Amino acid sequence: MGRGGERLHEWFAQDVADRAQLTVDEVLAPEFERTGAMIMGRDSYDHAEALWGEHPPFEMPIFVMTSRLREDDVREGTAFQFVDRMGAALARAVPEANGKAVGLHGGGAIRQGLRSVALHELQLHLVPGFLGRGRRLFSNLGDGPVAMELIRVAEGPAVMHLKYGVCER
């Protein structure tokens, strides 16, 4: 995440642990309920592993895209399975989701999902402030524009939750 990047996720750790914010439950709980499997990048897994510890918040299959494959990591109802690319992740995640949505978590997975036309909705959690450096979330998406429509805005004290529908690429 780079220097200072941890502050981007402070709202999540505090709010999810305390369940004190109605906006967190209103925004995140329905998304988790309609999601049957998740795809994330290795960086997201590595950074979040310390935050989640032995109690990851998913309770669903998670497919981690990485060039450093390893054995599955199973903790409290969550199985992290390591795959080498988006196509392999989707091929395994869709049937595992049992008719529910497949979520994408983290910048790398989101970029690959937008490029491969696998992403139909985008939920951003906007934290006020600039880090100054780091990877751009929306770089290298292809040649054409990506049209989106705003579906929902939910405001919390430390974060703004924005949900978009991806219209066309």
In this structure, the strands spanning 78-83 and 147-155 are: unpaired
**Structural domain for 13, as ranges:** 5-168
- The CATH number for 28's domain is 3.40.430.10
Going from the C-alpha of 163 to that of each of 54, 110, 168, the distances in angstroms are 29, 14, 16
When divided into structural domains, the chain yields a total of: 1
Rounded to whole angstroms, how far apart are CA atoms 1 and 10?
13
pTM of the model: 0.81
Q: The tokens 């997975």 sit on which residue?
A: 109
Encoding tokens for residue 124?
């951003």
Q: What is the pLDDT along the chain (169 residues), one digit of tens a residue?
A: 567 777 777 776 554 444 445 456 677 788 888 999 999 999 888 877 777 778 787 789 999 999 999 999 888 878 899 999 999 999 999 999 999 999 998 888 998 888 887 788 998 888 888 887 777 888 888 777 888 999 988 887 788 889 999 987 6
